[in-house]
C-alpha cells in the first residue's frame, strides 16, 4: 500500500472516503482492524486527547502499542485525532509536545485543532504543526469552523444552528487557511456535530445531523485538498454518501462503535462480548451504511 497521504488522495479522486474509527477503549482496536480487513476495506484507527482524559485509552503510547500488536498495513493506519490548542474545557494545551510524541511513536498522520482560536492564530498554530509533521514525512489535518458536541452540557437547538449556518466553515477563510497553513487535509463544519462526551449526555442517542451539501461543494471547489467530516455517526446515509462525491475523503466515526462497546460491556460484563459488538457494528458501518467494502484495490494504487 502507498502512504496515507496518497491513499486519502485516491479516495478523493474516486469519490470515496476513508472511515476513521475512534477507539476510546483499547480492546476496541483489534475488532475494528479485523472488521476492516474482513470487509476488504481500508480505515484509520484514531485516538484523540479527550479519549485519554475522559475515557480509558490512557495515552498516545498505549494506543500505539495496542495498534501495532494488530497492525495490518494493507488495511489500516494510525491517526492522531483532535490535539487542541484550547481544549473543550477552555484550557490551553501543550499541543506541540503531544504531536512530537505521536510522530516519534510512528503515528501515520496527525491532527491539530485550532478551531477555538481566531483565524490568524489557527493558521499560525497549524503551520507550526504542518512543518513539524512534514519534516517527518507525516501529513497534517486541521480544523476550521465550529463543530459542536464535545463541550459540557446539551447542544443548542440544532435546527436553529443549521438554518443560520452558525459556525459553518467560511469559503473565503478556508481558501486563506489552506494557502497559509500548509495543512494536507481540512476538517470542515457543514452541519455535522460531534457525539457528546460529557457525563449525562454521552449515552444518549446522537442528534440526526444534516449536511449542507451545497456549502460543502463550494468549499471543495475553493480549495484543492481533501476535506474531512467529523461527527460521522448518526447522519442520514444520503447526506454521507453525497458528501463523498463533493470533497469529503475521510469520515470520523466514534459514537456508533463506542456505544456498542459500552452497552454490551454493561449488559454482559464481558470484554470479549463487547469486542464482538464492535466488530459487528464496524462491519455494518463499512459494508451497509458507508458502502466502503471492497475498496482496498482502488485505494492501493500508486500515483505516477
Which amino acids are annotated catalytic? Answer: 81
Question: Over the Cα atoms of the chain, what is R_g?
Answer: 18
What secondary structure letter does DSSP report for 229? E
Strand, coil or helix: what is 150? Answer: coil
Q: What letters, b where the CB count within 10 A reaches 16 and e where it falls short, cover 8-38?
A: bbbbbeeebbbbbbbbbbbbbbbbbbbbbbe
Strand partners, 200: none
Cell matching residue 302: 500508486
DSSP category for residue 281: H
CA distance 102 to 92: 19
Residues in the chain: 304
Residue pair 47/105 in contact by the 8 Å Cβ criterion: no
Q: Positive or negative, the Cα torsion across 257, 192, 115, 138?
A: positive
Nearest alpha-carbon partner for 18 in 290, 251, 295, 277: 251
Helix (H, G, I), strand (E, B) or coil at 106: coil
> In terms of DSSP bridges, do strands 18-22 and 140-144 run parallel, antiparallel, or are they unpaired?
unpaired
The DSSP H or E segment spanning 60 is helix 60-70
Tell me the C-alpha distance between 3 and 302, whole Å: 9
Amino acid at each position: 500500500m502507498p502512504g496515507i497521504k496518497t491513499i486519502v488522495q485516491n479516495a478523493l479522486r474516486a469519490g470515496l472516503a476513508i472511515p476513521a474509527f475512534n477507539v476510546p477503549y483499547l480492546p476496541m482496536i483489534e475488532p475494528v482492524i479485523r472488521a476492516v480487513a474482513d470487509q476488504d476495506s481500508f480505515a484509520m484507527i484514531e485516538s484523540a486527547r479527550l479519549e485519554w482524559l475522559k475515557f480509558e485509552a490512557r495515552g498516545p503510547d498505549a494506543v500505539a502499542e495496542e495498534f501495532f500488536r494488530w497492525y495490518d498495513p494493507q488495511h489500516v493506519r494510525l491517526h492522531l485525532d483532535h490535539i487542541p490548542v484550547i481544549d473543550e474545557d477552555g484550557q490551553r494545551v501543550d499541543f506541540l509536545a503531544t504531536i512530537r510524541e505521536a510522530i516519534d511513536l510512528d503515528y501515520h498522520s496527525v491532527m491539530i485543532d485550532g478551531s477555538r482560536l481566531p483565524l490568524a492564530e489557527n493558521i499560525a498554530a497549524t503551520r507550526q504543526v504542518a512543518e513539524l509533521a512534514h519534516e517527518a514525512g507525516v501529513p497534517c489535518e486541521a480544523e476550521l469552523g465550529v463543530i459542536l458536541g464535545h463541550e459540557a452540557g446539551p447542544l443548542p437547538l440544532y435546527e436553529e444552528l443549521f438554518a443560520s449556518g452558525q459556525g459553518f466553515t467560511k469559503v473565503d477563510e478556508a481558501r486563506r487557511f489552506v494557502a497559509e497553513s500548509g495543512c494536507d487535509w481540512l476538517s470542515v463544519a457543514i452541519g455535522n456535530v460531534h457525539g457528546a462526551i460529557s457525563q449525562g449526555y454521552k449515552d444518549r442517542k446522537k442528534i440526526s445531523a444534516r449536511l449542507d451539501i451545497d456549502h460543502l461543494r463550494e468549499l471543495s471547489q475553493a480549495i484543492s485538498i481533501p476535506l474531512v467530516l467529523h461527527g460521522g455517526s448518526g447522519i442520514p446515509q444520503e447526506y454521507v454518501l453525497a458528501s463523498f462525491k463533493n470533497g469529503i475523503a475521510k469520515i470520523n466515526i466514534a459514537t456508533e462503535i463506542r456505544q456498542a462497546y459500552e452497552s454490551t460491556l454493561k449488559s454482559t460484563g464481558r470484554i470479549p462480548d463487547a469486542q464482538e459488538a464492535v466488530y459487528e457494528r464496524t462491519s455494518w458501518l463499512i459494508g451497509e451504511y458507508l458502502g466502503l467494502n471492497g475498496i482496498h484495490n482502488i485505494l492501493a494504487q500508486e500515483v505516477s
